[in-house]
Structure 1
């Protein structure tokens, strides 16, 4: 899996990294037990501060997507045994509602929002 960042984006770099790792997990490109690049090597490869990568990994750890094994690095965590440990439908509804409001406020239409949501969902692997 190739990880990239857009240094000109308004999205903080650590959130870009977080989103790409989660997308890799969702797409099956990253499986439980797979190692992530070391903080130092990923920071060097991307030309960003190692604290930025560390913050992304710590966020992913706190959310249960990765486990940190000290100097041995970061690894994709096992899927939670309890599906409720992840985002539940109420949280999803809340997040989609927030996104819909922001999209509308920026001039988007309901139809365009629904179309974008359907495109995003169609990228999920079967059974997800």
Structure 2
């Protein structure tokens, strides 16, 4: 698994790891049942603290994307749950902030929707692999 971590980013490293794994799942680069590197191995590969990787893995576990087994390690779940009402509320809140920022930066509605459609379709195609 290849992760690109930007150590200069304002986004915390654990969130960059979480986001990269989610994107890998959405694109089909990470398959259900696939093992991820151990916490220790990924931390060593990136050159970060094990607790940072552990935090990312636990967030993904709590969201239902990973199963963590002491013997087998972190595994991509084969059955990812349907969106809950709580998730939909959180999604809407996140989108409100993203849309507000885009409007403040002068992004047109058409540009925004085209970008969203392009990204969504990229991930949607990945799930068909």
Task: Normalising by structure 2, report the TM-score.
Answer: 0.83
Q: Which runs of 4+ in 1 moved over 4 A?
A: 85-91
CA 8–29 in structure 1, closer or farther in 2 if over 3 Å, else same: same
CA RMSD of aligned residues (A): 2.4
Q: CA deviation at 1:3?
A: 1.4
Please give the alpha-carbon distance, in whole angstroms, between the structure 1 residues aligned to 2:72 and 2:35. 9
Higher RCO (CA < 8 A, seq sep 6+): 2
Please give the alpha-carbon distance, in whole angstroms, between the structure 1 residues aligned to 2:15 and 2:87. 21
1:112 aligned partner: 111
Gaps of 5+ in 2: none
1:48 aligned partner: 48
Task: Normalising by structure 1, report the TM-score.
Answer: 0.83
1:84 aligned partner: 83
